[in-house]
């Protein structure tokens, strides 16, 4: 694959339109219980707050995942090429955010390119600019999009050749089982035949308190992250949410194997959303679900992946078996 090095990462802006935001909010507030899609959390301020969450002592996921990538990046690189050498591979990261985890893969793969997909244009472009200073030999492009609705990756010279999808941070856990299978199928379509996908997955733990604390840190950043969603709706839709009248909650649901994050109305209140011509009544104690984080065993992940046409190539876990990296291949039964 012959590629020309870009002096500065390009930004392709396919950001969801205001109509997409309205439709998502309208559908979410009409559901029972009320629930909004997680991508609405990630405006520029939400992306900044999420990076702060990842630095909190309670949030083990980022630290453990980075260690696994640093320790096993070389082996993962060999698995991706199918030989003992390292051939050019384009890394396509879904929900790249600050792009803080991909460096070990870029080193191991001698990647021909890096493509970052994220819903926050300013954040993902700045991340690619910073990352290319560390990897001047790797051309990069940032794509602002809702990758769940993206019909195809853009026709771009950096997106030719072999592709490795990268979906870290246990982000697959934000989806229901059916939703996870649908997303994995969609990723296979975006990445193309014979592609590979590296997933980072947080597993169930014995300590419920530790799991809940990871999503409700003592510094209150997780709460600010959730309440920023209301500020975004006020800004983008002219709504009149009062965040101080909603309490943040993170609760482990054992039967569903997930952390449920919600904003809980502290009192009866009414919120108007002009573009929807809607007046939304909230009862005291009524919840707005902002996010779920399912905790799946390795067997769960393999089952979901197989339903979507992916097959396991390799798995790497930490010493306490809290977190795993799963390497998948689409349409193949090869092993690493």
Tokens matching residue 145: 């999009």
- Phi-psi label, residue 238: left if phi above 0, alpha if psi -120 to 50, beta otherwise: left
Residue-averaged pLDDT of the chain: 93
Residue 232 has pLDDT above 90, yes or no: yes
Q: What is the pLDDT of residue 108?
A: 87
Q: Which residue has the tokens 């630290």?
A: 63
Inter-residue contact 264 to 246 (CB < 8 Å): yes
Higher pLDDT, 336 or 238: 238
Give 113-157 pLDDT, tens digit per residue: 999 999 999 999 999 999 999 999 999 999 999 999 999 999 999
Give 296-335 pLDDT, tens digit per residue: 999 999 999 999 999 999 999 999 999 999 999 997 656 6
Give 258-304 pLDDT, tens digit per residue: 999 999 999 999 999 999 999 999 999 999 999 999 999 999 999 99
Q: What is the pLDDT of residue 37?
A: 95
- 251-257 mean pLDDT: 97
Give 34-63 pLDDT, tens digit per residue: 999 999 999 999 999 999 999 999 999 999
Q: Kindly report the CATH number that applies to the domain delimited by 59-205+296-329.
A: 3.40.50.150
Q: What is the pLDDT of residue 336?
A: 67
Q: Please state the domain extents for the chain.
A: 25-47+207-294, 59-205+296-329
Inter-residue contact 39 to 146 (CB < 8 Å): yes
Give the 3-state secondary structure percentages of the chain, helix then strand then coil, rounded to 5: 40, 25, 35
Q: Tell me if the pTM is above 0.85.
A: yes
pLDDT band at 1 (very low <50, low <70, confident <90, very high): very low
Residue 60 contacts by C-beta under 8 Å, 6 or more apart in sequence?
210, 214, 322, 323
Number of H helices, E strands in the chain: 9, 14
Residue 169 per-residue DSSP state: T
Q: What is the pLDDT of residue 7?
A: 66
Q: What is the pLDDT of residue 112?
A: 80
Q: What is the pLDDT of residue 78?
A: 85
Residue 111 has pLDDT above 90, yes or no: no
- % of the chain at pLDDT higher than 90: 84
Element (H, E) at 190: helix 177-191
Give 72-87 pLDDT, tens digit per residue: 998 998 888 765 555 5
Q: What is the pLDDT of residue 2?
A: 46
| Bridge partner list, 238 | none
């Amino acid at each position: 694959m012959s590629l020309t090095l870009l002096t500065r990462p390009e930004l392709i802006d396919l950001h969801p339109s205001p109509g997409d935001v309205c439709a998502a909010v309208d559908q979410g507030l009409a559901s029972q219980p009320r629930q909004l899609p997680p991508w609405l959390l990630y405006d520029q301020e939400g992306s900044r707050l999420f990076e702060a969450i990842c630095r909190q002592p309670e949030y083990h996921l980022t630290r453990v995942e980075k260690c696994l990538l640093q320790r096993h990046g070389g082996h993962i690189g060999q698995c991706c090429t199918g030989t003992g050498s390292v051939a050019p591979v384009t890394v396509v990261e879904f929900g790249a955010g600050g792009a803080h985890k991909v460096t070990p893969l870029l080193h191991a793969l001698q990647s021909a390119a890096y493509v970052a997909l994220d819903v926050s244009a300013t954040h993902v472009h700045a991340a690619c600019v910073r990352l290319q200073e560390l990897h001047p030999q790797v051309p990069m492009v940032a794509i602002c999009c809702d990758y769940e609705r993206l019909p195809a990756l853009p026709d771009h010279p950096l997106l030719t050749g072999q592709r490795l999808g990268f979906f870290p941070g246990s982000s697959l856990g934000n989806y229901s089982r059916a939703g996870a299978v649908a997303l994995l199928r969609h990723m296979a379509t975006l990445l193309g035949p014979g592609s590979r996908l590296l997933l980072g997955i947080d597993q169930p733990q014995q300590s419920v308190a530790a799991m809940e604390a990871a999503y409700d840190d003592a510094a209150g950043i997780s709460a600010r992250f959730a309440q920023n969603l209301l500020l975004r709706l006020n800004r983008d839709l002219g709504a009149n949410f009062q965040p101080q009248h909603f309490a943040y909650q993170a609760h482990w649901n054992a039967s569903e194997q997930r952390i449920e994050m919600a904003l809980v109305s502290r009192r009866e209140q009414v919120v108007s959303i002009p573009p929807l011509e809607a007046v939304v009544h909230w009862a005291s104690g009524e919840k707005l679900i902002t996010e779920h984080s399912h905790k799946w065993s390795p067997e769960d992940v393999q089952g979901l992946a197989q339903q979507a046409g992916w097959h396991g190539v390799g798995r790497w876990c930490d010493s306490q078996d809290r977190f795993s990296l799963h390497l998948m291949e689409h349409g193949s039964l090869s092993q690493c």
